[in-house]
Structure 1
């Protein structure tokens, strides 16, 4: 072989060796990119890891880091450090979205940015071009079918005389408790601007209510250990109780269904917007959308087929979804602290 031919071949081999990693990198579009997102913790984050993060890393190389925390604390931190965000994506419920939007820490995006947004069901994207709705959790009346007769049919049944010392409900210092108050008001002739009917029921239920646990984990324990027999609870947590052997029935209340939607948002100043949009699109895919329903039985927000899961999910049809009550989240959150304070006074009086 002539020296010139050897040099040409050698140079070609060297270029191929250099090009190979580059070709591989092109195949994994977001190799080397890591995005941070606040997590809800436990089973919830594990479900998203399996249904969203892992498939996305396999197809694009993008890594997602879930950081369990409090969404309200994350929003406050983002606002105080505007321009230097500690996370790239923010998960937050409907009730917290107005604060995040007003704080100027979220980016807008639409169907042209993430095509799977077109699959979101009507009415589930409540805040215009902010956030991708991906899960819906409902607060419902519940009761132990072995110990409570007759069945509960409404939120206001927590005041029934036969439930003395048997009721657990949401705490007064959280929007979960305020949602129960709104259900009690609207179901009995009141409204967000006339909450008196709710507080009359709370006063009547005072001797029934033995606990307003600070967390859903603590409340789940109250039901599964028999301390509480009836009350209000998250639909997904009620399923968890049934799965563990406690016959805790989920009630479709006559007042309607009161629910919060969980959103994933792109934080303004996100390190890689294109990668964040890829996360959103995977989240709204069939695999991503079914991750939370499979693990916790909270409802989806798209047209994904539920199959056998449908029987365990509260909002599993257009007819059920039509029972979901609309809430003016901005006005609701502005009035919430005052509602909680009055609820505490009623329970202590």
Structure 2
């Protein structure tokens, strides 16, 4: 080969060698962009960083910043700054979705923008095309099998005579408590428009109720200290107790399970909606959707194939279990919230 031809070939080869990393770098389409997300804090945010944020940065150069706080305070901040949103993506549970939609501060999310939306299970997207559901926390009866030998089977079993002075429920103002009331009502012929059957159960249960748990941490501690043997709790928290060596059994009421679903939303008026859609797409991928259940054992919302160790721990782990998830009319529940809390407080105080 002539020297000139050799040099030409060598130059082309060298250019190709140098270009490859450059091309790969340029393929990171969201490099330099940071999405801001309101966070829940602790293991929840850490799970999302690992299963969603880290893969997005590796693939696209996209950074995600979680800002821990309380959803109610974050919502107020978002409303107050709608012209210059402090968040690009907003996490909220089913009750928060009603407020977000009514305030007109979130975008609809369609399959054309987030193809993995089509993988969401039927009944798990409660608000039309608003929000991407990614995690399910169920309110369930639980009991310490070391002390309670006859298993609980329903929400209404909290009134059983053998639980005298050894039961705990969530504070009346919490949505966990309101879902419990709805569960009791529908187990006993009532409805969201008629909770008197549930109030009757609560009156019967009053001698059993040692405490009203103001926080999840407080309820965990009551079970750990063996102050209480039974109660109503979140399924993920029951799993937490089992990891701490407490033999807490989770009950699946045969007439249905009541749950709160967590959503991610794209905020109106943000600079990088395409990057926000990429976050939602990754969240609904197999890798993304398994992040929270692997850390906290809350349920999934898609058709992902569950690893066996997760399948055993998750409440909604089969078509039969999924069919038990009750539809909640959140607008009606929120409208009834004040009167229900008032009635519950009357029962507890008298």
TM class by shorter-chain length?
Answer: over 0.9
Tell me, yes or no, if the aligned pair for 1:284 and 1:302 is still in contact at 8 Å.
yes
Instruction: Measure how far apart 1:20 and its partner are.
Output: 9.3
Instruction: Measure how far apart 1:270 and its partner are.
Output: 2.0
Q: Distance in 2 between matches of 1:260 and 1:192?
A: 16
- Deviation track 1:9-53 (CA, whole Å, cap 9, x = no partner) reads xxxxxx99xx99974552211111111111111111111110000
Structure 1 residue aligned with 2:11? none
Instruction: Measure how far apart 1:73 and its partner are.
Output: 2.1
Structure 2 residue aligned with 1:231? 231
Q: Distance in 2 between matches of 1:21 and 1:267?
A: 35
Q: Which moved more, 1:70-79 or 1:236-245?
A: 70-79
Instruction: Measure how far apart 1:250 and its partner are.
Output: 0.2
Structure 1 residue aligned with 2:343? 342
Structure 2 residue aligned with 1:4? none
Tell me, yes or no, if the aligned pair for 1:155 and 1:255 is still in contact at 8 Å.
no
Q: Which moved more, 1:77-86 or 1:250-259?
A: 77-86
Structure 2 residue aligned with 1:140? 140
Instruction: Measure how far apart 1:261 and its partner are.
Output: 0.9
Structure 2 residue aligned with 1:187? 187
Structure 2 residue aligned with 1:48? 48
- Deviation track 1:253-299 (CA, whole Å, cap 9, x = no partner) reads 13310011110000112231010000000000010011011111111
Tell me, yes or no, if the aligned pair for 1:154 and 1:254 is still in contact at 8 Å.
yes
Q: Distance in 1 between matches of 2:214 and 2:101?
A: 27
Q: Distance in 2 between matches of 1:332 and 1:303?
A: 28
2:97 corresponds to 1:97: yes
Matched position secondary structure for 1:253 = coil
Q: Which moved more, 1:315-324 or 1:72-81?
A: 72-81
TM-score normalised to structure 1 length = 0.92
Tell me, yes or no, if the aligned pair for 1:175 and 1:333 is still in contact at 8 Å.
no
Structure 2 residue aligned with 1:177? 177
Structure 2 residue aligned with 1:12? none
Alignment of 1:1-349 (within 5 A): 23=23, 25-308=25-308, 309-349=310-350
Q: Distance in 1 between matches of 2:49 and 2:236?
A: 19
Which 4+ stretches in 1 moved above 6 angstroms?
Answer: 19-22
Tell me, yes or no, if the aligned pair for 1:144 and 1:249 is still in contact at 8 Å.
yes
Q: Which moved more, 1:21-30 or 1:318-327?
A: 21-30
Q: Distance in 2 between matches of 1:24 and 1:288?
A: 23
Report the RMSD for the aligned CA atoms in angstroms.
1.9
Q: Distance in 2 between matches of 1:115 and 1:254?
A: 34
Q: Distance in 2 between matches of 1:159 and 1:37?
A: 41
Instruction: Measure how far apart 1:83 and its partner are.
Output: 2.0
Matched position secondary structure for 1:51 = helix
Instruction: Measure how far apart 1:244 and its partner are.
Output: 1.1
Q: Distance in 1 between matches of 2:224 and 2:43?
A: 18
Q: Distance in 2 between matches of 1:328 and 1:310?
A: 28
Matched position secondary structure for 1:106 = coil
Matched position secondary structure for 1:212 = strand
Matched position secondary structure for 2:134 = strand
Q: Distance in 2 between matches of 1:232 and 1:194?
A: 21
Q: Distance in 2 between matches of 1:285 and 1:342?
A: 43
Matched position secondary structure for 1:67 = strand
Q: Distance in 1 between matches of 2:27 and 2:217?
A: 43
TM-score normalised to structure 2 length = 0.92
Q: Distance in 2 between matches of 1:158 and 1:257?
A: 15
Q: Distance in 2 between matches of 1:227 and 1:97?
A: 36
Aligned length: 335
What residue ranges of structure 2 are gaps of 5+ in the alignment? Answer: 1-14
